[in-house]
Amino acid sequence: MLPFLANRVLIAIPTIVLISIFVFGLQKLLPGDPLLVLAGEERDPEVLEFLREKYRLNDPIPVQYSAWAGNALRGDLGVSLRTNQPVTELMAEKLPVTLQLATMSILFALLIGIPAGIVSAYKKGTLTDYVANVVALSGLSIPNFWLGIMLILLVSVQWQLLPASGYVPPGEDFWQSIRTMLMPSFVLGTALAATLMRHTRSAMLGVLSADYVRTARAKGLTERRVVLKHALRNALTPIVTLTALLFGELVAGAVLTEQIFTIPGFGKLVVDAVFNRDYAVVQGIVLVTAVGFIFMNLLADALYVILNPRLRGQ
């Protein structure tokens, strides 16, 4: 197992280097000059020159990249041009919010998608199977922003059951924090649940026709024991790895949902940074998100090896 993971890590290192080059290079193509905002309304040439020297913007781009990458390796992602606050501190404030949203969304997806996939596979060709597939396709087709707006109008405005927006830290009020996160988590979780349902159904269909499942039935085991212990146990291998990858996508892609529900997470931070041309924040967030997604890929590979004995033997 260790050589397998070591090989994956060796592949991940040049990937991270390439991502850092793209992140740094593409932000140079963005229009506008953030220093014009920092220099004030008068835009004194001496002030602009001082700021360019301070942020090393007069250096050649390769020199700027080397300095930025070296600082990033030491955990220094720079300072926000707007707030003069270290980027690592800004991300440390926002990351727990997005992680809470992603975790609750994954829980919704697992609780809905896996049972639906099992039932759909077991009832293949029946009305239940067709209904489950239609619901799954609907979950994949409905845009998150539309579902979020509809839930706000129905659940918050009309029924007044849950808060329409905002965020409360769990340490401040745990249950209120859960209430504020329920709707955005459900919005993100439904699309993931549809994906998990389709994959669970495909995996279960392949396993239910396997020889060892027929043998288990021939031994007189109950159908519930055959499905849940023998079939599901083997079908979960790709589902576990898929869940790890989906979690990485959630952390990276919850931008729109956070904007709709006014959640102060990674998504809102990066949107505000782009509008304000706060390049240091944009670079830091994109780099950390990319590294986090690569880590989730490595975790998925490790889980696949742990769950699949055949790979451990190779």
Q: pLDDT digit string (tens) for 137-183?
A: 777 778 877 888 888 888 888 888 888 888 888 888 888 889 888 89
Is the per-residue pLDDT at 312 higher than 60? no
In the chain, where do the E strands start and end?
none
DSSP-derived 3-state class of residue 136: helix
pLDDT score for 84: 79
CA distances for 95 relative to 91, 99, 196, 293, angstroms: 6, 6, 25, 14
**Averaged pLDDT, 182-186:** 89
Is the per-residue pLDDT at 55 higher than 80? no
Q: How far is CA 78 from the centre of its chain?
A: 24
pTM as predicted:
0.79
Pairwise CA distance, residues 46 & 40, whole Å: 12
pLDDT score for 257: 81
What single-letter amino acid sits at 126? T
**Averaged pLDDT, 304-309:** 68
Other CB atoms within a 10 A radius of the CB of residue 7 amount to 11
Pairwise CA distance, residues 204 & 199, whole Å: 8
Q: Which carries the bigger pLDDT value, residue 233 or residue 147?
A: 147
Determine whether 51 is exposed, middle or buried from the number of CB atoms within 10 Å of its CB (0-12, 13-18, 19+).
middle
pLDDT more than 70, % of the chain: 89
pLDDT score for 255: 75
Pairwise CA distance, residues 103 & 250, whole Å: 9
Is the per-residue pLDDT at 13 higher than 70? yes
Hey, what are 196's tokens? 């998990």
Question: Torsions phi, psi of 110, nearest 5?
Answer: -70, -40
User: 140: part of which helix (H) or strand (E)?
Assistant: helix 127-141
Pairwise CA distance, residues 277 & 290, whole Å: 20
Hey, what are 156's tokens? 């918050």
DSSP-derived 3-state class of residue 86: strand
pLDDT score for 31: 63
pLDDT band per the 50, 70, 90 thresholds, residue 24: confident
pLDDT score for 295: 82
The residues, any chain, with a CB within 8 Å of residue 239's CB and separated by 6 or more, are 114, 196, 199, 200, 203
CB of 87 closer than 8 Å to CB of 281: yes
Q: What is the mean pLDDT of the chain?
A: 80
Q: pLDDT digit string (tens) for 247-292?
A: 877 776 677 788 788 888 887 788 888 777 777 888 888 888 888 8
Hey, what are 183's tokens? 């709707």
Hey, what are 39's tokens? 């220099």
Q: pLDDT digit string (tens) for 292-303?
A: 888 887 887 777
Catalogue all structural domains in the chain, each as residue range(s) with its CATH number: 95-265 (1.10.3720.10)
Pairwise CA distance, residues 64 & 55, whole Å: 9
Other CB atoms within a 10 A radius of the CB of residue 275 amount to 8
**Averaged pLDDT, 79-99:** 84
Q: Of the spans 73-82, 113-122, 266-275, 279-288, which averages the highest pLDDT?
A: 113-122
Q: Which carries the bigger pLDDT value, residue 190 or residue 307?
A: 190
Hey, what are 108's tokens? 């919704």
Question: Torsions phi, psi of 79, nearest 5?
Answer: -125, 140
Q: Which carries the bigger pLDDT value, residue 145 or residue 118?
A: 118
pLDDT score for 44: 67
Q: pLDDT digit string (tens) for 29-51?
A: 666 666 666 665 566 677 677 77
SS (H, E, C) 229-293: HHHHHHHHHHHHHHHHHHHHHHHHHCHHHHHHCCCCCHHHHHHHHHHCCCHHHHHHHHHHHHHHH
Hey, what are 232's tokens? 């599901």
Pairwise CA distance, residues 241 & 300, whole Å: 5
pLDDT score for 189: 86
Is the per-residue pLDDT at 104 higher than 80? yes
